[in-house]
A and B are shown apart, each in its own frame.
Chain A
Amino acid sequence: MSLLDQYAEVVGPAMIDHLAQLAAPLQGARVVHVNSTRVGGGVAEILGKLVPLTRELGVDAQWEVISGDQDFFQCTKNMHNGLQGSPVNLSERLVQAYETTTERAASLLGARLAEAEFVFIHDPQPAYLLRFFPERHGKWIWRCHIDVSHPYRPVWKYLRNIVGGYDASVFSLAAFAQALPCPEYIVPPSIDPLADKNIDLEDAELGAVRARFGLDPQRPLVVQVSRFDRFKDPVGVIHAFRLALRYLPRLQLVLAGGSASDDPEGDVVLQEVRSAAADDPDVHVLLLPADDHRTVNALQRCADVVLQKSLREGFGLTVTEAMWKHRPVIGGNTGGIRLQVFDHHTGYLVSTPEGAALRIRHLIARPDRIAEMGQKAHNLVRDNFLITRQLREYLTLMVALLHAARERIELG
């Protein structure tokens, strides 16, 4: 069965027809996506399926990854944090490492990028590539997955000089967009319903995961899945858990995070989280391999309620994943979480550990409410946040770029 057929079973054949119609004017076009890791993080996960799906529609899509040394990733991590508002130091040494690593990548990727009709550059890591392709053939698009609504200005100033040269940019929310000379498209990201992280699992597999981590199936469980990153506020989650524990003494908490090769800060934050958890047997801090998607899937399905108490968030694909599994989400009132968590419908938006604790108490006491909100959450994701919707918007964007700034494009 082709990939398109498999997706048709989830989203319906009309959506697949829609994709085919949009892809018709792009037949044979060379499209290259570039990021900096093949595993770990939402970007890599989605590209792993988006690219083959695009190919099945007759578009020649490829995925390239640039690699770098510790200084390169330290620089891009600092950029990432700076774009999300943290005052960070981009030293000359780190910037030099960033630029020379990118130059090396440019020579390796050479003709593939120069000759492509469309190049999607994901996030800041490969953004500098543009500088090395002054004679490029196609349209270059900078796809920013980060909330850059309040960036640390020196970092944004440096990056703006680079990304301002692209033919278009893409942000997950209008609120994330900074002034740029190119058109700024708004495309929320998505999840893949057929990926290991999201497919249905047998009860036996859920039971095995509970047993592996010592989780009691008879007791309520709240779960947060995210990288060990201060912007995800894992310590705040532990605080919320302890506040709720006074009223729900049987409550259990899982904080599960993978590691990504482009995140050098993860270890430090993990130690902070372990320290905050102390030796509490009901707080399970799990460092999972970046590709252990089935375990993440199982943990989300084992949860009664899922938390994503981020202080800053690009989009929050872990929220989308949990909602796809019929789980209401208690999410930080920030970034893309606001686009998914409709207060009192698909979950609750909170601003403090106290707010999260209040909502945990409320939901754990009302299983019928969990079921009702979980169904709404699933429907919201089905209609808006699956990979097919994102692909539809990328195809629309490419067709739109072929027709310059025209407001309305009539095909066929």
Chain B
Amino acid sequence: MTQPGGQYAAPEPDPGEFAVKDCALIAIATGLRAVTLGDLQDHLRVVALESLYYHFWGGLLQQRFEPREYNNDFAEWARHALHYAPLAERLAVLDPTDHPDLGDLRRELLDRVEESLYESEDLGWMHAIRPFEFIRCQTVVFDTDRRIRGPDELADVIPALPPSSLFYHFIDARRREPLGVDDFRAWLQGWGPDRQALIDRLSGVDPYEGGLNELRASLVAAFTGGEGA
């Protein structure tokens, strides 16, 4: 295409269409219950890795009436059932995306639990006011058959995307190889440097802050370049 002045515009990059997918999670009890921190340590050693996924990410699909205090169920239990704030704080800063795989995350969790057990002998046998129930989940992913042809269309779609679809594309995607980033950024990278500002804004959206409705609001703000992005 020739632009006024006789210069040729660079061809629009074509990363292909964005396939909108959705997912449904179903929880499965593992039968493992921790009543003490010692129990938690024992079960963490053997529980299926998918259980860690559920306890870090699955909570985002749950209803909340107050901002999420901790970003994973282990920290929440340490604080509100075991009443040991130092451990809760150490667990709360764990971000699964900092770890190459869930096995590595398991080792980090165990390190922090052991550190607390060294600090206080009582913690090994002190009973929590409610047990920690280890849960794992199965995820069914399906194609909605909806296709998005460009970044502007994606911006239009985000406000109406179901929470489970947001979860799949923005949160679940981070554990998928090879990129380990959300699907939106992964796709936008194919649209050339013009989209870098949007990608940077999306990088600043914290998936742990609030629930999926707050996440949607943050994504809308990122796409429109507004406040809260």
By a beta-carbon cutoff of 8 Å, the part of chain A in contact with chain B is 14-15, 17-18, 21-22, 24, 171, 174-175, 177, 179-180, 183-187, 342, 345-346, 376, 380, 383-384, 392-393, 395-397, 399-400, 406-412
Cβ contacts B125-146/A at 8 Å (1 or 0 each): 0000001010111111111100
Pairwise interchain contact A396-B24, C-beta atoms closer than 8 A: yes
Contacts between the two chains (Cβ within 8 Å), count: 83
Pairwise interchain contact A411-B141, C-beta atoms closer than 8 A: yes
Pairwise interchain contact A184-B142, C-beta atoms closer than 8 A: no
Q: Which of B28, B143, B160 sits near A184, CB closer than 8 Å?
A: B28
Q: Which residues of A contact B31 (CB under 8 A)?
A: 177, 179-180, 184
Pairwise interchain contact B144-A17, C-beta atoms closer than 8 A: yes
Q: Which residues of B contact A383 (CB under 8 A)?
A: 63
**What 8 A-B pairs are tightest by C-beta distance, nearest first?**
A174-B133, A177-B29, A186-B27, A412-B143, A411-B142, A184-B29, A345-B65, A396-B24
Q: Which of B133, B140, B143 sits near A396, CB closer than 8 Å?
A: B140
Pairwise interchain contact B142-A185, C-beta atoms closer than 8 A: no
Residue contacts A-B, CB under 8 angstroms, 30 given: A14-B160, A14-B162, A17-B144, A18-B22, A18-B24, A22-B24, A174-B29, A175-B133, A177-B31, A179-B31, A185-B28, A186-B135, A345-B65, A346-B65, A393-B24, A396-B25, A396-B138, A396-B140, A399-B140, A400-B138, A407-B50, A407-B137, A407-B139, A408-B139, A409-B138, A409-B139, A409-B140, A409-B141, A410-B142, A411-B141
A15–B29 Cα distance when bound, in Å, is 25
Pairwise interchain contact A400-B63, C-beta atoms closer than 8 A: no
Pairwise interchain contact B140-A187, C-beta atoms closer than 8 A: no
Pairwise interchain contact B138-A407, C-beta atoms closer than 8 A: yes
Pairwise interchain contact A342-B65, C-beta atoms closer than 8 A: yes
**B41 on the A face (CB < 8 A):** no
**B164 on the A face (CB < 8 A):** yes
| Tier of interface size on chain B | 20 to 34
Cβ contacts B151-162/A at 8 Å (1 or 0 each): 000000000101
Pairwise interchain contact B144-A21, C-beta atoms closer than 8 A: yes
Pairwise interchain contact B142-A412, C-beta atoms closer than 8 A: yes
A24–B160 Cα distance when bound, in Å, is 23
B-side binding surface: helix, strand, loop or mixed? strand
Return B138 CB to nearest CB of chain A, in Å.
5
Q: Which residues of A contact B63 (CB under 8 A)?
A: 380, 383-384
Pairwise interchain contact B29-A408, C-beta atoms closer than 8 A: no
A393–B26 Cα distance when bound, in Å, is 6
Q: Which residues of A contact B140 (CB under 8 A)?
A: 22, 396, 399-400, 409, 411
A187–B100 Cα distance when bound, in Å, is 32
A179–B133 Cα distance when bound, in Å, is 13
A170–B181 Cα distance when bound, in Å, is 34
Q: Which residues of B contact A346 (CB under 8 A)?
A: 65
Return A342 CB to nearest CB of chain B, in Å.
6
Pairwise interchain contact A174-B27, C-beta atoms closer than 8 A: yes
Q: Which residues of B contact A174 (CB under 8 A)?
A: 27, 29, 133, 135
Q: Which residues of A contact B26 (CB under 8 A)?
A: 185-187, 393, 396-397, 400
Give the nearest-CB partner of A397 in chain B. Answer: B26
Q: Which residues of B contact A407 (CB under 8 A)?
A: 50, 136-139
A393–B29 Cα distance when bound, in Å, is 15
Q: Which residues of B contact A345 (CB under 8 A)?
A: 65
Q: Which residues of A contact B143 (CB under 8 A)?
A: 411-412
Return A335 CB to nearest CB of chain B, in Å.
13
Residues of B14-33 at the interface with A, using a CB-CB cut-off of 8 Å, are 22, 24-29, 31
Return A101 CB to nearest CB of chain B, in Å.
30
Q: Which residues of A contact B144 (CB under 8 A)?
A: 17, 21
Q: Which residues of A contact B24 (CB under 8 A)?
A: 18, 22, 392-393, 395-396
A380–B144 Cα distance when bound, in Å, is 26
Return A112 CB to nearest CB of chain B, in Å.
26
Return B160 CB to nearest CB of chain A, in Å.
8
Q: Which residues of A contact B65 (CB under 8 A)?
A: 342, 345-346, 376
